[in-house]
Chains A and B, each alone.
Chain A
Amino acid sequence: MTILNFNLNSIQYWQTLPPDWPGEFWWHWLVFTVIIIGFVLLLVMGFIYIERRGMGRMQARLGPNRTGPFGLLQPVADAIKILLKEDIVPTKADKLVHWLAPVIAFAPVLMVFAVVPFQNGAVLADLNIGILYVVAISSVTTVGIFMAGWGSSNKYSLLGAMRSVAAVVSYEIPLVLTIASVVLIVGSLSLNQIVLAQDIPFILLQPLGFLLYFIAGCAEINRSPFDLFEADSEIVAGFHTEYSGMKFALFYLAEYAEALAISAIITTLFLAGWRGPLLPPWLWFTLKVIIVFFVMVWTRTTLPRVRIDQLMALAWKFLLPLALINLLITGIEVLTLPAALPWVMILANFAIMVLLVLLWSKFFRLGGGRVEV
């Protein structure tokens, strides 16, 4: 399985608990839960800052700069403003569903971080099905979003929610297929082990996989240019049209936490996770996450929103075939190439990526004439 000299003997991936850890499991659980919640909340605030300032500068604006030095307290001000707002529930809303939706949308995002390693062995739970767990749990968010759309009893909410479900179901497939090709190289589903296997970051071994994962990931978490579930010029605010106050804050938080989750998984799968010279591992991890998020902001500023038929066509006609071919090629390479020659694989994969993207762009067509969605 291991085509690269991964040197699995030196890997001590059962280091999840130091031997002298007091209280064993529950202390471990408590400490890591606190770390994860702190990490997510802190980075979400950082992300909001990066997004608003970075996007502002890319559009030749300044971005928010009134609250605190360099506008650093803007996320705090936003949060306070949102929390002080009245919580309005529509009369005809399905009250229970409306109330439950933000929780169901947010909780799974937090749960994703349970298996993301911050440094070697520093995970809440080093599941041996880690990446499968991530895929499964991150899909639950969609249920929350659909509940929000349904429970609001508002046509715009429902439209946004239906778009969301359609898109997430479509984009899950290329997403999982690219994950599968990474797993094929490593031979393990555990995220910690995937990181340990990356002597060479997988972005080099799997350039096409990275590209596909990035696009599909952006689509899955409603990042622009695929943000048509909350396209404000078409359907007000999509599924959270009828939300205000604390519930809206949860959706807002979930949106950025999802972006953080996808950035963290991209970092883990393709950018060698916490590995890096000099700096401490957790810092490397955070830095890489921020860089990935910055690229998301960058694409968001650059690209206009796609139409719903373009979104679907991209998923089924572009990403899915490429992901399948990528999986096939990776499988062949893993079987045939000798372990000592990663550079052959890198060069071959880059060539294949360029070729495939050019080829598929040539044949990529949207449905002719009227498109019914």
Chain B
Amino acid sequence: MKFERYGIGIAKGLRVTIKHLFHHPVTVQYPEQRLNPSRRTRGNELIWDRTKCTGCATCAKTCPQGVIKIITSVSTEENKYVVEKFEVDTGYCIFCGLCVEACPYEALFMGYAYERAKYRRGELVQANEMLGASPERRPSGYMHPEIAAQLPRQTLLLERITEEE
């Protein structure tokens, strides 16, 4: 005899809710508690390594949005391209990560940070030294397993870990 139509559903539902009452809540109280994002996250800003970049502009070609602008000049004494300007309009970036995947010299990284909001639209256009890595702008492990290995493990809500900065 099946009891599906005899109020057993209500009893089951009541059991679920009362169980939840004694579970740990999954809420993260954001400004005080933060979760570690995925180690391979495609975070908010591109990070560019000037020393590794050769100015080949592969990244600019792969970018579906045409966001990356790169201006190079030829240095005759060193016999190579010198990057004069590397500019990214983050406002148009769709964080697809194609530029990072395309870069043959591993000079581009996705960002690991996620709190990089700006007050002015102009601040979204970043160029040259602004794109370098810094403690606030750590590179993410996207396409770079060696970086991913050094980043902290991602916290899952299920594991009840809430990392405090």
- Smallest CB–CB gap between B6 and chain A, Å? 4
Please indicate the chain A residues that have their CB under 8 angstroms from the CB of B16 in the complex: 302
Distance, CA A57 to CA B24, complexed state (A): 8
Across the interface, name the chain B residue whose C-beta is closest to A359. Answer: B6
Q: Is A252 an interface residue (CB 8 A)?
A: no
Q: Kindly specify which of B25-33, B46-54, B143-151 makes contact with the partner chain.
A: B25-33
Neighbour of B27 across the interface among A62, A358, A361, CB < 8 A: A62
Please indicate the chain A residues that have their CB under 8 angstroms from the CB of B25 in the complex: 56-57, 60-62
Neighbour of B14 across the interface among A59, A61, A302, CB < 8 A: A302
Distance, CA A207 to CA B132, complexed state (A): 72
Which of B's residues lie within 8 Å of A, judged by CB? 5-7, 10, 13-14, 16-18, 20-21, 23, 25-27, 29
Distance, CA A361 to CA B5, complexed state (A): 7
Distance, CA A59 to CA B13, complexed state (A): 12
Number of residues in A with C-beta < 8 Å to the partner? Answer: 17
Distance, CA A57 to CA B18, complexed state (A): 9
Q: Is the interface of A mostly helix, strand, loop or mixed?
A: helix
Please indicate the chain B residues that have their CB under 8 angstroms from the CB of A244 in the complex: none
Can you spell out 9 A-B residue pairs with CB atoms less than 8 angstroms apart? Answer: A57-B20, A58-B18, A59-B20, A60-B23, A60-B27, A301-B17, A302-B10, A302-B17, A357-B6
A-B pairs with the 7 shortest C-beta distances?
A: A302-B13, A361-B6, A62-B27, A58-B17, A302-B17, A62-B25, A301-B17
Q: Is A303 an interface residue (CB 8 A)?
A: yes
A298 touches B27 (CB 8 A): no
Given contacts A56-B25, A57-B20, A60-B23, 13 further A-B contacts (CB under 8 A): A54-B21, A57-B21, A58-B18, A58-B20, A58-B21, A61-B25, A298-B18, A302-B10, A302-B13, A302-B14, A302-B17, A358-B6, A362-B6
Distance, CA A276 to CA B96, complexed state (A): 67
Given the known interface contacts A298-B18, A361-B5, the answer about A60 and B10 at a Cβ–Cβ threshold of 8 Å is no
A303 touches B10 (CB 8 A): yes
Mark A64-89 against chain B: 1 for CB-CB distance below 8 A, else 0. Answer: 00000000000000000000000000
Please indicate the chain B residues that have their CB under 8 angstroms from the CB of A57 in the complex: 20-21, 23, 25
Please indicate the chain B residues that have their CB under 8 angstroms from the CB of A60 in the complex: 20, 23, 25-27
Mark A282-322 against chain B: 1 for CB-CB distance below 8 A, else 0. Answer: 00000000000000001101110000000000000000000
- Smallest CB–CB gap between B87 and chain A, Å? 43
A62 touches B20 (CB 8 A): no
- Smallest CB–CB gap between B29 and chain A, Å? 7
- Smallest CB–CB gap between B129 and chain A, Å? 41
Distance, CA A58 to CA B21, complexed state (A): 4
Please indicate the chain B residues that have their CB under 8 angstroms from the CB of A301 in the complex: 17
Across the interface, name the chain B residue whose C-beta is closest to A55. Answer: B17
Max chain A Cβ within 10 angstroms of own Cβ: one of B6, B17, B27: B17
Neighbour of A298 across the interface among B5, B14, B23, CB < 8 A: B14
